Structure 1
Amino acid sequence: MLILTWVFVVTAGLALAYAAASAIGAWRWSVAARNLVAELTAGRVAPAASRHHAAELAGLPAPVQRYFRAALTDGQPIVTAVSLTQSGLFNMSAVADQWKPFTATQAFATARPGFVWDANITLFPGVPVRVVDAFVAGEGLLRPTILGLYGLGTLQGTGEIARGELLRHFAESVWFPTALLPSQGVVWQAVDDTSANATMTDGPISVTMLFRFGVDDLITSVSVEGRATTVGTATVLMPWECRMSNYQTRDGMRVPLTGEALYITPQGEKPYFKGTIDTIVYEFAP
């Protein structure tokens, strides 16, 4: 009986300790995420134009003109900020299939460009991996933790981490396509009748991606020859691609609600993200 009592006491103590650590971690994480979003919001500036006008499409590559005519209407207000929720699967292994469910919230600013992705990945029942992935004020950040308390290695700063996060922002601009307009600073260059290169610049960082368009004239994928990723303890550049589907109309814009992100390794394609937008809310220029 004494042994059973001690087993109960120890088990109850461990459960209470875990519950306390989980609660503290969730609180600390939410405060840090809110502070990042506040910094993102504080850095917003007025867009170069408040509405899209079809006249600005003159001179753009033909597939790009067709895309904007399919995705936007003349007079569409320019998106200045976005908040959304996501759910899906995230691959926790770079060499195997270890897909785990996740939910996330994400905030975007379009000028200056930036985002904060706040995700909760269920590693095991009751054991969340909390991840923040962000590009704020020209600086990149990737911070994964267990319970929001125990760090798994943080990447932060300028250079390739910042470039990689701006590439993510650029790819995800398909969710708020007014950010891809030339009036908002994006420069388009012709490739062929179904693709075009586009360049986005933020301060000293300039990134170029290849956009591909489908038979419906909407974007099917974006890719770049080199985006930073971690292989073991080293950071390497590897071909990266995002694929979009399930286009629907939101606030007058055609946007994809389903996406997949992957690296193309010497061993083949390695998808790591499969997600769906559950809710999306826009702020527009007055």
Structure 2
Amino acid sequence: MFHRILFSSKYPIIQATKTLHMINTPVQRRNQAFCLLLVICFVVNQAFSQSYQTDEMQDLGAFAEENDFAIDFWEVTIKEQMGRERAESLVENLETMYTQHEDKNGDRVKYTFYNGHNNEPFYVLYNVILPLDKKEPAEVIIVLHGKDWDSQISQKYEKEKAAIQKKYLTKESQLYTCLSIQDSDIINHDEFLNKAKKYFNIKHISTNYDNIENSRIEQSTYGYIKTWEHFYFMENDPKNVHIAAVTGHHGEKSFMIGTPILINEY
């Protein structure tokens, strides 16, 4: 790519090179060569200064490992809308491999397939939602869910996710991650938030307190992590990470961190 940019006949470097042949004085040639060097340095810098994109769940898992956090669970949800024929073909494919559960509700039919065993570090749920109105697009929701994380699980997760995306989905799919950490006597919300800020170098931070009655979310913090690809805008700032302090049904507390926004049912 850099070679094509550098030697394209329309690029200023070539024009500058042609000009050098027309210059006779040594001073002019040195000045022109210096300018040419600056242009080359600029092009090289642009070619190699793009943000390095990483897998969000891998980052969250490494964050938990480094801080010895007690994990409640981790979850990756992949969503995609697709044409009905392709979705029906997917249902036929999945039912040859996994047990099917069918749920008819209102104006749609939901097919659920479970891929997991007791000795596996995580399981996969395949959900295919077919509207009764055949003109409406179908929706596929695939969930990877586990309760532990280490280097072996990390490798298995990466392999499983890549296979799912290649076999069943396209580049149009949307991916959401969530990591839930248990509250303890040695860490509170502020300390967890500060560790996340430092580890991920979170920018554009904003915090909201939930005043909704019976809400399980006590506090939500949003921010932006440069190495994570997807983001949205909130109050004119990019956001792609969501941290929440959550109270469980029995009063237990946990801290959730996810991207680009937590979609789990608290």
TM-score of the superposition, structure 1-length normalised? 0.30
Higher strand share: 1
Judging by fraction of residues, say which structure has more helix.
Answer: 2
